Structure formats: structure tokens, C-alpha cells
Amino acid sequence: MRTIRVAAAQSGPIQKAEPRDDVVRRLVALLEEAARRGARLVVFPELALTTFFPRWYMEEETDVLAWFEPSMPSPTTRPLFDRARELGIGFSLGYAELTPEGRRFNTSILVDERGEIVGKYRKIHLPGHVAYDPDRAFQHLEKRYFEPGDLGFPVWRTLGGIMGMCICNDRRWPETWRVLGLQSVELVMLGFNTPSVNSQDSAEGPTQRLFHHRLSMQAGAYQNATWAVAVAKAGVEDGHALMGGTLIVDPNGEIVAESATLEDELVLYDCDLDACRFGKQTIFDFARHRRTEHYGLITSRTGARPPD
Ligand code: CDT
């Protein structure tokens, strides 16, 4: 058995006016509780340091850049790195990345138990739109504020396993999972901000959005024989609801742990990375069963086209 206790650290809402230092204090509190409860890896949400700002239309560059981190660790996030190193615990963290060249990405980093950044992923599937849409109740401007990621879907040997990351909307695309699966990934971590249709959505009742979230996570994990940890930013941010639904899925595609609230909450599970072996050596033994000669359209064509 190669068991790693993973803590999915769901965030409750972060209001637009909440200072980033306060958010980091919340993340440190979750990290400390996770360490107390024996976790070796903590997974934080997408854009974990701020409200989900792509819902707000901004024209001024300075207004946009205010949401971004020009360095990592930054002075604001340094306490999280320091505490993680003291506690000997790894973490992944989503944030808005501003590069030295002025490029903007929706990014996650993976930090090992020594507090070193060992991996970086930049979100590839950006949902939403570029221009202000007057017909929408709220905006979803990821395509305005971020470039599509340029790092592919790497995996890293760290924390005793083969680890991969993706972010939110990426989980809905089987291509994400298969590229990670083809690198023998054993644990995929991702953060998400998924809006609710309305504020009636709650942890009590599964809605269609929660169903699609679970379906995507369970299918991705099963079809690639990997653990998968999805961590929400949840609850109502300045009147806009995020659905929640933090969960951990085993390599059989079963949900083994799930959040019960829309607040800051830890969901822990002992993930035995050796449990990936059965699926990877049998039904999803890619080397024996895949037929790449028939998969050309996957990379040669982007949009669907009916036959002539
Ligand atoms: N953050 C993010 O990627 N959210 C999307 C919302 C899709 S609806 C525009 C998601 O896939 O959950």
C-alpha cells in the first residue's frame, strides 16, 4: 500500500472586498487543521486567493491586474508556504498568475513538503466569453482575462506518487484526463468555481450541475484508473452563488468522500495509490488496448462537423 492522506480544502465564499491577507489566514487555518488530522497533501480551490473575479466586467488594465499575483510565493502568500514547510505538508493552490512579460493565466501550483514549488499548470479549457454580454445575469469573462495555458498537462513524481493537475472546466473534457492518464497519473487534483443556476442550490440537493460535475469526475477517474480530488469555492459571493461539491473519487470511479457544507471545510481521505494498479493493468491497460490509428480526429479536428 502507498497511502497518502489527502485533504480537500473547500473554501466558503470570498467577497470582493475581502483582503487577500485575510483569505490567506483562512487557508493557513485549513492547512493547520489538515496537518493536525494527519494529511500530507492539501488541495485548495481554483483562484483560491480572491472572489471569482471573472464574473465582473472590467475595462481598465489596472483594475484587472489588481486580482493577479506577479510572483509566487508573493508577500501575501508567503505565510502559507512557511507554515506548510514547518508542518511538512504539500499543497496545491489556484491563483491568477501575471508573468514578468505581462501574460495572464489561470494557474495552479504544486508545492512539496519542503515548501518548494515542484509543478505548475495553466488552465487550458477557458469557459465563457471575451466581451461584455448584456443578456447575462452575470458575466463569465475567463476568455477576456486569461490566455489558454501553454504548459500542456504535465505530471510530477512527488509526495510518493505521480501527481497531475487541471482546473475546473478542464474536468469536463475527456482529453484532459486521457493526456494525464497516458503519463500514468495516480492522483489528479483540481480546484473549481462553478456557478449555481440560482441561490437555491445547496449541499442538500443534487442539481443537474452537481450531477455533471460528479459524472465528469467519476468518468475521468475510472477511465484512467486514478484518484481524483475536486475542490470547490462554494457559497454566495456578493450575491452570486457557487455550487460547492468538493469530493474525492477513487480509481474505480466511486465517490469516497464529499463535503457537507458551502463553507470552509476539510474533506479527508486515505488514498492508496497502489489501488490504481488494477485498472491500469486490466481494462485500462492502454498499451494493450488503445487503437491510436483510429483516434486521429481527436487532434486534427477541433469542432464537430457532420458528414457531407
Ligand atoms: N471556473 C470554471 O471553469 N467554471 C466553469 C463554469 C462553466 S459555465 C460558464 C465550469 O466548468 O464549472
Closest atom of ligand 1 relative to the 140 alpha carbon: 9
pLDDT of residue 137: 81
Active-site residue list = 46, 123, 168
- Residue 201 has a pLDDT of 46
Tell me if 188 sits within 8 A of 177, measured CB to CB.
yes
Q: What pLDDT, on a 0 to 100 scale, did the predictor assign at position 204?
A: 40
φ and ψ at 230, to 5 degrees?
-115, 125
Whether 172 lines ligand 1, by a CB cut-off of 6 Å, is: yes
- CATH class given for the domain over 3-300: alpha beta
CA–centroid distance, 126 to ligand 1, in Å, is 8
Ligand 1 atom nearest 169 alpha carbon: 11
143 lines ligand 1 (CB under 6 A): no
- Domain positions in the chain are 3-300
Q: Is 194 in the pocket of ligand 1 (CB under 6 A)?
A: yes
CB 111 within 8 A of CB 93: yes
DSSP 132-164: --TTSSS---HHHH-PPPSS-S-EEEETTEEEE
Q: Which atom of ligand 1 is nearest to the CA of 193?
A: 1
The contacts of residue 105 (CB under 8 Å, 6+ apart) are 96, 97, 99, 122, 123, 146, 147, 149, 150
Alpha carbon nearest to ligand 1 atom 9, residue: 128
pLDDT for the residue 138:
85
d(CA 153, CA 220): 14
- How many Å apart are CA 133 and CA 57, to the nearest integer? 9
CA angle (81 as vertex; 163, 161 as ends), nearest 5: 15
Residue 145 CB less than 6 A away from ligand 1: no
User: Which residues, 6 or more positions from 27, have their beta carbon under 8 angstroms from its beta carbon?
Assistant: 9, 11, 44, 48, 80, 93
In the prediction, which pLDDT does 199 show? 44
Residue whose C-alpha is closest to residue 203's, from 61, 10, 35, 56 = 10
Phi/psi of residue 55, each to 5°? -80, -10
pLDDT of residue 1: 93
- N- to C-terminal Cα distance for the chain? 53
Give the per-residue pLDDT at 198.
52
pLDDT, tens digit, 9 for 90 and up, residues 261-277: 999 999 999 999 999 99
Distance from the CA of 87 to the center of ligand 1, in angstroms?
Answer: 33
Whole-number pLDDT of residue 172 = 98
Spell out, as residue ranges, where the chain has pLDDT lower than 70: 197-206
Q: Is the shortest distance between the CB of 146 and ligand 1 below 6 Å? A: no
